[in-house]
Amino acid sequence: MQTQTVPNSDEKMLANYVPVFVMLPLGVITNDNVLEDKEKIENQLKELRDAGVDGVMTDVWWGIVEGKGPMQYDWSGYRSLFQLIQECGLTLQAIMSFHQCGGNVGDVVNIPLPKWVLEIGESDPDIFYTNRSGNRNREYLTIGVDNLPVFYGRTAVQVYSDFMKSFREEMSDFLEAGLLLDIEVGLGPAGELRYPSYPQSQGWVFPGIGEFQCYDKYLKAEFKQAAKDASHPEWELPDDAGEYNDTPESTKFFRSNGTYLTDRGKIFLTWYSNKLLIHGDEILDEANQIFLGCKLKLATKVAGIHWWYKSDSHAAELTSGFYNLNDRDGYRPIARMLSRHHAILNFTCLEMRNAEQKAAAKSEPEELVQQVLSGGWRENIEVAGENALPRYDAAAYNQILLNARPNGVNKEGPPKLRMYGMTYLRLSDGLLEEKNFNLFKTFVKKMHADQEYCPDPKMYNHEIGPLEASAPKLSMEELLEATKPMEPFPWDKETDMRVDDGGGFVFANLIKKFFSRFKK
């Protein structure tokens, strides 16, 4: 861990401090379970530490660790990486990555699910999410097998649970040393709690509405039962919701006065989104029992589906599993579910601004972020976030800073609203280029409310105690009470901690360039 003291820090201003983490490259551990280019990554970690970064985040890939066979775990590559992170004085956020790497925006390496799982899928392809055309998605197992013992006698939930148990046992020394601050439990494609509704590997292109992913035989049977319970045994899964790259108005389901507004549409969308809530709840229950007493927090990532947010049907959100409409909050029930497990809600697209989006996409990332973060705060949970795409510019950093403290800093103590932390996507040669890295260092300092790196989380009210047991299970009725829409908290128009300092940063760079001429 970093051990330097905080020089001349104003303790009241420290209450505004938001820690910054950096995601490591997707392939930092190779498919062969080896730490790739140790010397290079060590130098990069040291640069991050010197920049005041609080820690790093890494995927812990199921496909690598349990690749050789059921319950044959090999943690050697990750032990090497964790040791290096510890030696470099950084803390760690570890993602239990039960998904495939490859096929999503930004995936530059290919790490499939374990070979033995894919082999089961050869004889039973319905273990994978399936669209209406019958295309299988091998990124993540369908929710339909969560509680079916199709993996050599184990259910999917048991498989995830056993993986996490092994992680706790094998990494106990790092856990006891306080290296790990949180365990983010992957709950879907890209590690996000959602359906794989917009796969590039199947031809999806932004801003397509995506497709529902519930046509495997297991989820089909479950919906048939749900329709029967609703006294409509004749109802089938939607056949009028279009294809990946359609617009809402080109479909019967999502168009104005479309199927989504009918009883049949509402029953389906409620079932589809509730399945996600139950999925997350069950796996977080397992995670809570496994890491009970460890000094860390659990976390879950929720995707920022910002396109078509401004359209009445919110089509892209609905296909992803977020039943979010103008008169129904699809995110606060997730926050309420997370609250019982004392888990952090980690949200994406913090850097995006409405003005940067195509008008045709009817995208409103700013309002979406405000809605989701406000919902988390209203449910009394911690919210954290990430940028969705790599950005090195002042506009993106300023937007993240605004979302991190929507009402600015408070010079007399804690701010009115403050995110728990921010994870920057991602460590790369591009980030470390001098011009980009200088601005990034300024961003880190501004996230820290102009304070020096603080090695003691207690100083900014982030002390992590032993993980407490999950609260009693909430009924679906209790969770769905949170669908009642509420006005988001007010946001300032601009951050009071700009990285470009109203032109001061640009001026400083010009001065630096001017004097550098005389050094040659």
Residues noted as catalytic: 192, 386
Q: How far apart are CA 57 and CA 182, in angstroms?
A: 9
Q: Is 232 annotated as a binding residue?
A: no
Q: Is 54 annotated as a binding residue?
A: no
Q: Is 462 annotated as a binding residue?
A: no
Q: Is 426 annotated as a binding residue?
A: yes
Helix H or strand E segment including 136: strand 136-141
Q: How far apart are CA 116 and CA 130, in angstroms?
A: 20
Find the angle CA(494)-CA(496)-CA(497) to the nearest 5 degrees. Answer: 115
Which letter does DSSP use for residue 133 in this model? T
Strand 128-130 to strand 136-141: parallel, antiparallel, or no bridges (unpaired)? Answer: antiparallel
Q: Is 130 annotated as a binding residue?
A: no
Question: What Å distances lie between residue 258 and 181, 210, 309, 311, 478, CA to CA?
Answer: 46, 16, 16, 13, 28
Whether 280 and 333 have beta carbons less than 8 Å apart is answered as no
Within 13 Å of residue 459, how many CA atoms lie on the same side as its CB? 18
Q: Is 418 annotated as a binding residue?
A: no
Q: Is 387 annotated as a binding residue?
A: yes
231-246 per-residue burial string, b: 16 or more CB within 10 A, e: under 16: eeeebebbeebbbbbb
Q: Is 405 annotated as a binding residue?
A: no
Cα-to-chain-centroid distance, residue 106? 14
Q: Is 449 annotated as a binding residue?
A: no
Find the angle CA(107)-CA(55)-CA(85) to the nearest 5 degrees. Answer: 85
Binding residues: 59, 99, 107, 301, 306, 348, 387-388, 426
Binding residues for substrate: 59, 99, 107, 301, 306, 348, 387-388, 426
